[in-house]
Amino acid sequence: MRIIVIGAPGAGKGTQAKLLAKHFNVPHVSTGSLLREYIEKNTGTCDELKHVMNCGYLVDDDIVIGLIRGFVEDKAFIFDGFPRTVKQAEILNEMLSAISAPLNKVIYVTIDDDIIIGRMAGRQSCSSCGAIYNTKHNPPAAERICDHCGGALFVREDDCEQVVRRRLRNYYTLTEPIIDYYRKQGIVFEISGLGCIDEITNAVIAELS
């Protein structure tokens, strides 16, 4: 199975990608998480990369393509955060065409900006398994502790309002045009990110089954 989940920051794409990956037993590939792991393992040598991410800008295509290449070659993935530009989508298309492994579906999770800003305000991520919580809408059972793995929850530096607004601008100018690119291929499934998490997942599973 080869799926892409696209949505603005805070739309719930990461949560959905994770649940879908579990359901279909396919690797969940979050380029943001892979980049954060890479920076953590190489502390001191990635200051520039860290700065780019903390400011909410996109990192170089070469770095990101290097991270996803193996998953493309294995022909099974749920991409979360990739592609982020039409150029990246074109590169992915070429890679998949070369191995005759087309995408099954692009899941497009939509949501209003006002709700995104509110959601990001209380967002916490698990440092161990990457699960995402919101202190108001989806709190962990115990403060700052992940329900799934017991890992410590933290607030990402790029989740502050000013950076979220920049990430949103980048999303609308650079990432959203991807939807038209994939609509032309007839593989977009659009769903509102407003409902309850399980209902959204079930609707996507029904579409993919």
CB 116 within 8 A of CB 198: no
Minimum distance from residue 51 beta carbon to ligand AMP (Å) = 10
Minimum distance from residue 137 beta carbon to ligand AMP (Å) = 18
Minimum distance from residue 55 beta carbon to ligand AMP (Å) = 8
Q: Where are the beta strands (DSSP E) in the chain?
A: 2-7, 28-30, 77-80, 105-110, 123-126, 132-134, 153-154, 188-192
**Does residue 184 come out as left (phi exceeding 0), alpha (psi in the -120 to 50 range) or beta?**
alpha
CB 208 within 8 A of CB 113: no
- Of 133 and 202, which has the nearer Cβ to ligand AMP? 133
Give dist(CA 176, CA 168) in Å, integer: 10
Which of the residues 163 through 192 are near ligand AMP (CB under 6 A)?
167
Which of the residues 16 through 45 are near ligand AMP (CB under 6 A)?
30-32, 35
Q: What is the number of residues in the chain?
A: 209
The reply on whether position 59 binds ligand AMP by CB under 6 A is: yes
Crossing angle of helices 31-41 and 61-74, in 10° steps, is 110
Residues in the interface with ligand AMP (CB under 6 A) total: 19
Q: What SS3 state is found at 135?
A: coil
From residue 100 to residue 139, the character string flagging contacts with ligand AMP as x (rule: CB under 6 A) and all else as - is ----------------------------------------
- From the list 82, 108, 171, 182, which residue makes contact with ligand AMP (rule: CB under 6 A)? 82
From residue 87 to residue 106, the character string flagging contacts with ligand AMP as x (rule: CB under 6 A) and all else as - is -x------------------
- From the list 84, 123, 126, 133, which residue makes contact with ligand AMP (rule: CB under 6 A)? 84
Q: Quick one: how far is CA 148 from the chain centroid?
A: 19
Binding site for ligand AMP (CB under 6 A): 9, 30-32, 35, 52-53, 56-59, 64, 81-84, 88, 158, 167
